[in-house]
Structure formats: C-alpha cells, structure tokens
Amino acid sequence: MNQSIKPGDNPDLTEERLSGTFDTNSMAAVIYGSDKLAQRRREISEAVSRIPELQDSKPCPFMTREEKILEGSRKSAILNRLLPGLIDLDSFEETVFIHQEVIGIEGHPLALHESLFIPPIATQGTDEQQKKWLGRAQRREIIGCYAQTELGHGSNLRALETTATFDISSQEFILNSPTITSLKWWPGALGKSANWSIVIANLIVHDKNHGPHPFMVQLRDEKSHEPLPGITVGDIGPKMAFNGADNGFLGFENYRIPRENMLMRHSKVTPDGGYIRPPHAKIGYSGMVRVRSRMAAEQGLFLAHALTIAVRYSAIRRQGYLEDRSREVKVLDYQTQQHRLFPSIARAYAFIFCGFETIRLYDQLLIDVQNGNTSGMADLHALTSGLKSVVTHQTGEGIEQARMACGGHGYSMASYISEIYGVAIGGCTYEGENMVMLLQLARYLVKSIEMIQNGKSKNLGPMVAYLAANESEIDLNLGPNEYLKVFQYAARSQAWRATEKFQKLRNSGMSKEQAWNQASVELTRASRLHTRLYIMSTFINHVGSVVDQKIKKVLIDLLNVHITYEVMDIGIYVQGLLSSDQMDLIRNQLYVSLETIRPNAVSLVDSFQISDMQLRSVLGRRDGNVYENLFKWAKSCPLNDKDVLESVTKYLKPMMDKSKL
C-alpha cells in the first residue's frame, strides 16, 4: 500500500497511489538500509513539522543571498539547541538529514563542519588533539571548514603553494600565502561563518618540502569573530547555486600556530625538527576519499528529489490525447515521458544502493587504517574516484531531463529543480574534477591490465577480475547476469583498447605523460564503463538480497529498466558482441519494462520519503494540488507587493509619456 494517500489530495495522484503494488514504507526500508533508519527519517520529518521556529520564513527563491545565510544560521542555532531531543547525536546520517530537512540544499554555515572539519580531526588527529578540539567542535563551540583549494590550484595538489614552515626556536609553524594564486579559494563556510579551519599546507622542515599536510588553524577571534592578525578572509561572491553557503578566500602572512596544531596521528614533526612519514603517502587525502565515498548516495538523493517532483507532477499534468478524446491524458502516459524519467528512477535507486555500499567500504577501510593496514586504500580511491564522477554526471543529466519533463513550470523556481540541479552538479567539480578523477581510476585499470599482460591475473582484485576474461558470445535468453556479461565485455574491451593505445604511444618513443594525455579520452571512457558495470552489479546483488517478495518483484522490474537502458546506451561498445537482432530485442525489452513499471512510478518516488518541507517544490507537493498553490506562490512573490513599481514610475512611465508627445 502507498502510505502517502490522504483525503483532499489531487484525485489523479490518489489514483496513481492506489495502483501501486507494494508498501512504500517497506520500500523505504530497503532504500535506506533498514526499517529503523527509514522510520527515523519519517519521525524526524514529523517532529520538525511541528516546530514553528524551524519552518522557512519565506520560500527560498524569494530570499536574497544575505537572507539565505541569515536563515541558515538562525535555523542552525535553533537546531543546535533542539538536536538532543530530536536525533541520535552520534548518528552522522541523522545529523545530515535533519539539516537537509530544516535548512534545505542551498547550504548553511555548518554544512562543511560535519563532513570535512570534524572527520579529519577524528581520523588524523592524535588522541590529545582529539581531546582538545573534537568535543568543542561537536558541541559547536567552534565552527570549522576545510581549506585546501587555492585560487590557482585545485586538482593538482602537488602544486599547492601555501606553506607551513617549522620554526624550531619557537616550536611553531609559520603559515604563508606567498602569491595571489596561493590564496585559499572555495572552502564552504570560510567566508563569514567559520572561526577555525583545517588548512592544507606544504610542510617545510629544515628547508625541505614534505608536501601537503593538514593543520588546525584558528582564523577568527572567538569573542569578536574578527579575523586574527595575519589572516585575510572573506566571501568569494555569488555562485550558480548553493548560495546559502559562504564559500570563502583566505590568505596568511607570517601567521604562527603551535607545533601541536599539525594533525599528527600519521605524519609527525618532532620538537627537534625530525619528520616521521605516514604509513601511506596519501593518507592525508583520506578526508576527500571519505566525502567521495558518500557522494553516490547523496547524489542519488538529489536525483530522487528531482524525480519526486517530475513524476508526481507528470501524474497530475494533463496535456493532449491518446485514444479518449473526451479527456486530456496524464503526461506520464506518454512513452517519451516514461523514457525520460523511468531510467532515472532506476539510476537513483542504483546510486543509493551502491552509495551505501561504498560508505560501508570506507568505514571498514577506516578501521583497517587505524589498525595499521593501508592495503585497501588504492582500491577504494580508484572505486570512489570513478563513482563520484559517473554518478554526479548522470545525476546532472537526470535532473535536467526531469526539469524538461515538467515543461514550462519546470523552468520556474516554483519547481525548485534548477536549484537542485545547480547544487548537485557542483559535485562534478568539488571533491576532484570529474575528468581528473576518471583518470585516477584509469591508472588503476591500466595497472591491472599490465598485471594480466605479465601473467599475474590471479593477483587481480574481485572488481577487476573481469578484465582477464574472454567473453565473445552471449546467450540472449537475457537475464540480469547476461546483461552483466554484455557490460563486462564493453568495459573490458574499452579498458584494453585504451591501455593498448597508451602502450603503443609509449613504444613509439613518446614520454609517459604525453602518451597518457593522447590516450586520455579513451582512458576516461574505460573508467566510465568500469564504473557503470560496478553500479549495475551492485544493483543486481542488492535486488537479489531482498526478502519481501512484493518489493523484490518491483525492484526486478526497475532493474530491467536499468539494464536494458544501460546496454542500449552503450550500444557502440557492444557492436562486436551483439547482432542487430539482439539489439532490437533489448530495445523492445526496454519498452516493455517501461510499461511494466508505469503503475508503480508514483509509489517508487513516494518511497524516497522526501517531505514537502525538504522538497520545497510547488510542483512536487505530496498532495498534488499544484495549480492553486502555483497561483498562491506567484502572488506571494515580493514583486507583487505593489501594483506599480519604481521601475515603471521612474523609467517606463516617463519614457511612454515622452513618446506620446
């Protein structure tokens, strides 16, 4: 049963909900990993809806940037007071969720505090450092950010210019931004809100540069909030979206911090200037790996937001006719609309499922690393690099299709889809620009193929074992596993093609770097296919593990949409394997699976359990009463406070009057 049905709802939406074949709360339990977690989300939404001071003071699209930052800060402060009674304070998921619910997706002063400030202290700080700062940060006595990117350098961390030079005589590090390009640029909450930061700076001891390391740095006075002497800090200005966040710039001029402020769990500087290496050269990058490991689920949820809006709206929007000329048809009944939206629903589910899997993998790696075992770092770095790139790109595509699927109203901020799009596609850039990260995964794929070439296939990890197989025929009694084999064929042949291109260029005498650059488009294609294969296989495994038979049936239908769509989408890579008859068969299976999923479309998006408050969309309202609320929304626009604006009295009226003469 669909748990969203309520009296007074738009009858078209109620009809959709009645046609659903499964219980949406049970599906939510599968999406969020357990009945308890799904229920906690419902309880938190419900509790928040009963607290007047946590409601939006006005719709976000009507707020200026200053108002957004003020509103985010107002709500953050109230939440900090109320949180103990509302959520499990030890749960990162609940903390993120309640901020999302109350403040929304446009950013807020604590967005980075939870995800990029506290985790490095907790994982890279010594026990004493944790004792000193962790409690203060968790109680929010201080607000922090993560300052790594510089005006001139983001992707290439080796070229960062900020320095932290050890001064033995005073037992301090001296921080400097030697050039304009070395100014820190972009960190969220740095601009106006944070008073502390993790700063990534080149560690220099005895004139030797040991590369980027993390330092705890106080930026502003804890009483006055004024920048401390030696610090230049401010906001970088408005962005495409995410304007409730104050992304900032930061410069240092001979700014001194105690030796104890370098995070020293892994690398250390001793009082006499000795440097102790970390157990793995890239351990300082693990904060980024943590965030990347969470991005598939986050992005899946951004896509879920847009699809909830577009699918609900498509069920109440009537336009044109099919057979019955007496009543316009729901636009959701058009095959083109289904083809536009349903594969994205499948992707959102797939991203969330594999997102929770990568979070689990990261948590396991963290335990291993704390126990001194860093052997899994390269695998997870490669996996999360590819995953963040593919998922952010496909999420952006899916959100934009969702916007277009809403016609003209999709273009209005009342749909809120443009904000979701703007925030989500930031993910194509932050935490590593997508091409750069695809090339990181490509290094791993090339190395894996070189192992095969050197007769060491048995050393390949499970995620790349398929690279050594030799599939040349597919039985088209197609079940998910045959589709997986088709995808493996595509990913494998592209990985070999790209590697061989790179090797041929090398053998022709080209430098490694030039050869890599000349092969890089092919290499990124290999990385995408490898990642899409991973997403598909995780989806198949996840569906296989579902126990509730009604839920399993719908998920198999959704999986069928996914695998047929994905294989059609990569047709060019499987031309050597599949005949045109086989491709036609798959195409037809896709069309059949769109029809099969149609009665459950609304229930599938309702199962994401995104409340109206969180959705902030007039088009996506749970009750489907869109038109009357669109009219209310337009009337509440500040431009309509007055009938005659100054723009008219000051300019247009005099112009028209003058023209009359």
Annotated binding site for FAD, which residues? 149, 188
435 contact, one of ligand FAD, ligand LSEC2LVB, none, CB 5-8 Å limit per kind: ligand FAD
The footprint of ligand LSEC2LVB on residues 420-449 (CB under 6 A) is: 426, 430-432, 436, 440, 443
561 contact, one of ligand LSEC2LVB, ligand FAD, none, CB 5-8 Å limit per kind: none
568-578 exposure pattern, b = at least 16 Cβ within 10 A, e = fewer: eebeebbeebb
> Among residues 5, 134, 329, 378, which is the contact residue for ligand LSEC2LVB, using CB under 6 A?
378
Of residues 188 and 251, the one with the C-beta less far from ligand LSEC2LVB = 188
**365: contact with ligand LSEC2LVB by CB under 6 A:** no
The footprint of ligand LSEC2LVB on residues 155-174 (CB under 6 A) is: 155-158
606 contact, one of ligand FAD, ligand LSEC2LVB, none, CB 5-8 Å limit per kind: none
Find the shortest distance in angstroms from Cβ 344 to ligand LSEC2LVB.
15
Of residues 343 and 432, the one with the C-beta less far from ligand FAD = 432
**109: contact with ligand FAD by CB under 6 A:** no
**Tokens 């890579």 map to which residue?**
573
User: What is the largest distance, in Å, between two alpha-carbon atoms of the chain?
Assistant: 91
- 565 Cα distance to chain centroid: 23
Find the shortest distance in angstroms from Cβ 325 to ligand FAD.
49
Establish whether 114 is a catalytic residue: no
The footprint of ligand FAD on residues 405-434 (CB under 6 A) is: 426, 429-430, 432-433
Residue 511 token pair? 């430098």
Q: What are phi and psi of 35, to 5 degrees?
A: -60, -35
Query: Which secondary structure element, helix H or strand E, spans residue 17, and what is its range?
Result: helix 11-19
Kindly give the residue spans of alpha helices, DSSP state H, lying in 371-479. Answer: 377-405, 407-411, 417-425, 434-453
Half-sphere exposure of 216 (CA within 13 A, CB side): 26
> Among residues 436, 465, 468, 474, which is the contact residue for ligand FAD, using CB under 6 A?
436
Separation in Å, CA 42 to CA 16, 38, 49, 64: 22, 7, 11, 31
Of residues 390 and 563, the one with the C-beta less far from ligand LSEC2LVB = 390
Under rule CB under 6 A, how many of the chain's residues touch ligand FAD?
Answer: 20
Q: Is the distance from CB of 2 to CB of 17 less than 8 angstroms?
A: yes
Find the shortest distance in angstroms from Cβ 220 to ligand FAD.
17
Q: What are phi and psi of 359, to 5 degrees?
A: -65, -40
What is the Cα–Cα distance from 376 to 367, expressed in whole angstroms?
A: 11
**Tokens 């488009």 map to which residue?**
521
Query: Which of 172, 431, 450, 646 is flagged as catalytic?
Result: 431
> Among residues 123, 149, 162, 193, which is the contact residue for ligand LSEC2LVB, using CB under 6 A?
149
Of residues 1 and 96, the one with the C-beta less far from ligand LSEC2LVB = 96
3-state secondary structure 141-192: CCCEEEECCECCCCCCHHHCCCEEEEECCCCEEEEECCCHHHCEECCCCCCC
105 contact, one of ligand FAD, ligand LSEC2LVB, none, CB 5-8 Å limit per kind: ligand LSEC2LVB
What is the Cα–Cα distance from 605 to 597, expressed in whole angstroms?
A: 12
What is the Cα–Cα distance from 398 to 154, expressed in whole angstroms?
A: 27
What is the Cα–Cα distance from 384 to 432, expressed in whole angstroms?
A: 11
The footprint of ligand LSEC2LVB on residues 70-129 (CB under 6 A) is: 96, 100, 105, 111, 116
**502: contact with ligand LSEC2LVB by CB under 6 A:** no
144-147 and 196-205 beta bridge pairing: parallel
Residue closest to ligand FAD when measured from CB atoms:
154
Find the shortest distance in angstroms from Cβ 360 to ligand LSEC2LVB.
18
Find the shortest distance in angstroms from Cβ 197 to ligand LSEC2LVB.
12
Binding mask 229-258 for ligand FAD (x = CB under 6 A): -------------x----x-----------
443 contact, one of ligand FAD, ligand LSEC2LVB, none, CB 5-8 Å limit per kind: ligand LSEC2LVB
Q: Is the distance from CB of 269 to CB of 275 less than 8 angstroms?
A: yes
Strand partners, 330: 318
Q: Is the distance from CB of 607 to CB of 28 less than 8 angstroms?
A: yes
Of residues 436 and 460, the one with the C-beta less far from ligand LSEC2LVB = 436
Q: Taking Cα atoms as reference points, which of 201, 195, 205 lies closest to residue 172?
A: 205
**288: contact with ligand LSEC2LVB by CB under 6 A:** yes
What is the Cα–Cα distance from 264 to 215, expressed in whole angstroms?
A: 9
Which parts are annotated binding residues? 149, 188
Q: Is the distance from CB of 146 to CB of 120 less than 8 angstroms?
A: yes
Of residues 156 and 507, the one with the C-beta less far from ligand LSEC2LVB = 156
Find the shortest distance in angstroms from Cβ 513 to ligand FAD.
10
591-618 exposure pattern, b = at least 16 Cβ within 10 A, e = fewer: eebbebbbebbbbbbbbbbbbebbbbbb
**530: contact with ligand LSEC2LVB by CB under 6 A:** no
346 contact, one of ligand LSEC2LVB, ligand FAD, none, CB 5-8 Å limit per kind: none
Whole-angstrom distance between the N-terminal and C-terminal Cα of the chain? 70
Of residues 149 and 162, the one with the C-beta less far from ligand LSEC2LVB = 149
Determine how many CB atoms are found less than 10 A away from the CB of residue 394. 24
What is the Cα–Cα distance from 538 to 155, expressed in whole angstroms?
A: 29
Binding mask 293-332 for ligand LSEC2LVB (x = CB under 6 A): -----x--xx--x---------------------------
193 contact, one of ligand FAD, ligand LSEC2LVB, none, CB 5-8 Å limit per kind: none
- φ/ψ region of 141 (left if φ > 0, alpha if ψ in -120 to 50, else beta) reads alpha
Residue 194 token pair? 């944070």
Residue 124 token pair? 């890279």
Find the shortest distance in angstroms from Cβ 62 to ligand LSEC2LVB.
21
Query: Which secondary structure element, helix H or strand E, spans residue 286, and what is its range?
Result: helix 286-316
163-167 and 172-176 beta bridge pairing: antiparallel
147 contact, one of ligand LSEC2LVB, ligand FAD, none, CB 5-8 Å limit per kind: ligand FAD
Q: At residue 462, what is the residue type?
A: P
Looking at the chain, the number of H-run helices and the number of E-run strands are 24, 11
The footprint of ligand FAD on residues 137-156 (CB under 6 A) is: 146-149, 154-155
**32: contact with ligand LSEC2LVB by CB under 6 A:** no
The footprint of ligand FAD on residues 157-216 (CB under 6 A) is: 186-188
Which residues are part of the catalytic machinery? 431
| Chain positions contacting ligand FAD, by CB under 6 A | 112, 146-149, 154-155, 186-188, 242, 247, 426, 429-430, 432-433, 435-436, 439
Positions that interact with ligand LSEC2LVB (CB under 6 A): 96, 100, 105, 111, 116, 146, 148-149, 154-158, 188, 282, 285, 288-289, 298, 301-302, 305, 377-378, 381, 426, 430-432, 436, 440, 443
